[in-house]
Structure 1
């Protein structure tokens, strides 16, 4: 199961830096991680499939070793599938953060969305396409091996694994690749990415309901009752798909607000004061200027820090007359400045590249336009436009 990661605000990348599991390597320069949950599936596949291998090949305990190899081949197939997404995305100039393999598949975390429906289509389709090509190749090779030999069994496992990964991911609903293909098609027809995402997300919810019903439909058609394992796996898989589709719906609503982001409009009015100015006098200048933020400058008038609201409020009225603003200010960095002309995706990209609590917003001539707080951007992106301003 593959999807690109969606950013919902300037603080998102901080969480994304945390390691999601064991680093396996960096094929094509893309970090690949496997989470500990993989062992859950590996053990279940080994136990269930081991009995099947034993009945086919009569290998004794080695049948379970071969079943474990199938679990490895299944996730190797998922990895190849995800690498196809990542390689195509990078060829289109989109940064790929990492690939994560987990209990129900894998995910390619792509930091930016494709700019056109055509590129979105090919990034999404590359994974299932490669999986099906590998399945066809292994299927063809299986004709040259004894089906009741270890080699024949491994080839059988390889083409089955890739067929499962390829076909399942083509189902038309998010978070599957087929959902991204559906979304790209709707985007192309309507000219609206948001519409495509919503349709694909609802497609994922419908598929989730279908997955729950499938074991019962198969059992009723055969005149029996569904097995408990089939029901459990159906519920687990459907739950994952429903949550992924619901997340996609939420992200679509968030992404619809991105075009409304404007650095100049979101910037809070600011006043610049020297570092040794007492806090009480800085308060007075801010009120006279109608400013909400106090920017601290050095001897040459260059902004070096921004007064931290919580730290300033902690200073009592009596002490404000002699505590300098530099004592309650948060230092600026080389990445703390953004252009007042940045809007939409360009602004969000700049903020997520270097997540900080606030940014100086400057005009083309270098004049200070105001201070943009990350909390204000997150409030707009979450639909709480007025919550961060206070």
Structure 2
């Protein structure tokens, strides 16, 4: 979804990205200013209305960013890592790597964003009320006050994935003691609200309000899809509940010697077994992993001279996992570190390998 986005910096150590669709919002807010500000400030030059519209769009960018930072800072307080913040056509999204550990943490992380938006709205209200403030500053501040307060109210609608839906999930989780059940119910509420938005959009289109109608339809479709995907994700998580790494791993491990050439590794192992990667050992000790990813970076002409040990990815604790850990922990680590496989290790002994493709095959067979 966020493929066409650009990294523009970091804030509190969190990567900040802007999706290409955000520029459409920027243009719409600036263009809206061209029609809104003449209504509140008649008889100003046209270029001033455009300037106020652009300033309002930039301040909206900052407002959405601060809203997402509210979520992130509370999540970091609970030691939940943040992958990035992305600003896109429907606002912003903080990509939080793990779910909250408790209903209280979920509530505080969710409510932080709307509280920040209300605070920002109050801040703009105070700017607008400053005695002697230029009329342009007052008009822009009042405009941003209204937008931030509307964003806070909209986000508090109790339907996942909106902040209000996460607040609802926290309450249902605390009441039922069942995270997955609470998520399903909050996602259904989100789908219901999304359908309502799309009905409003269809009504606006019939009534001739084309821009508002299309906007409601797009937001409704986005929320419905997000809630539906959350519902599917919960079903998947429930299907792997109780599964350990040892249940899914491949116990017959084929290893490469660090001293063999890449030619030998490809001809005698990669082509013969058809695997995407192999653990590498030296004097019986695990020292790394060689996968197709590393092989593709080496010119074919050098395969006869370079050894596996020179090309492999060195072994680290992040590349191994204990057989008693839940399978979800292995999946999360592979996704986080962009790995296709992990070594299953119990103390100094290698027990097996767990791979993305192996997990997929296991779950496919289990569902048949």
- Same fold, judged at TM 0.5 (above): yes
* 1:24 to partner: Cα distance: 3.3
Query: What SS does the corresponding residue of 2:12 show, helix, strand or coil?
Result: helix
Residue 96 (structure 1) aligns with: 82
Residue 318 (structure 1) aligns with: none
Query: What SS does the corresponding residue of 1:108 show, helix, strand or coil?
Result: strand
Residue 125 (structure 2) aligns with: 139
Distance 1:218 1:235 in 2: 10
Residue 151 (structure 1) aligns with: 137
Residues 1:165 and 2:151 are matched in the alignment:
yes
Residue 3 (structure 1) aligns with: none
Residue 8 (structure 1) aligns with: none
Structure 1 residues 296 and 372, CA gap change in structure 2 (3 angstroms)? closer
* 1:155 to partner: Cα distance: 1.6
Among 358, 362, 370, the residue aligned to 2:345: 362
Residue 46 (structure 1) aligns with: 30
Query: What SS does the corresponding residue of 2:207 show, helix, strand or coil?
Result: coil
8 Å CA contact 2:85, 2:95 repeated in 1: yes
* 1:341 to partner: Cα distance: 2.4
List per-residue Cα deviations over 1:186-209 (Å, max 9, x = no partner).
Answer: 111111111111111111111112
List per-residue Cα deviations over 1:254-285 (Å, max 9, x = no partner).
Answer: 23244333111111121567747x99xx99xx
Instruction: Give TM-score, length-normalised by structure 2.
Output: 0.80
Query: What SS does the corresponding residue of 2:150 show, helix, strand or coil?
Result: helix
Distance 1:306 1:22 in 2: 31
Residues 1:209 and 2:195 are matched in the alignment:
yes
Q: Mind listing any 5+ residue stretches in structure 1 that lack a counterpart? A: 1-14, 284-291, 310-325
Structure 1 segments of 4+ aligned residues over 6 angstroms from their partners: 216-219, 292-297, 305-309
8 Å CA contact 2:278, 2:291 repeated in 1: no
8 Å CA contact 1:56, 1:148 repeated in 2: no
Q: How many residues align?
A: 338
Over the residues paired in the alignment, what is the CA RMSD in angstroms? 3.5
Among 238, 244, 248, the residue aligned to 2:220: 238
8 Å CA contact 1:273, 1:294 repeated in 2: no
Structure-to-structure mapping, 1:1-390, within 5 angstroms: 21-57=5-41, 58-61=43-46, 62-145=48-131, 149-214=135-200, 225-271=207-253, 275=257, 298=281, 300-303=283-286, 331=312, 333-335=314-316, 336-364=319-347, 366-379=348-361, 383-385=363-365
List per-residue Cα deviations over 1:24-50 (Å, max 9, x = no partner).
Answer: 332222121112211212222222331
Distance 1:118 1:43 in 2: 39
* 1:154 to partner: Cα distance: 1.8
Instruction: Give TM-score, length-normalised by structure 1.
Output: 0.75
List per-residue Cα deviations over 1:318-376 (Å, max 9, x = no partner).
Answer: xxxxxxxx99xx95641343222222444344433433233221223x22322222212
Structure 1 residues 248 and 168, CA gap change in structure 2 (3 angstroms)? same
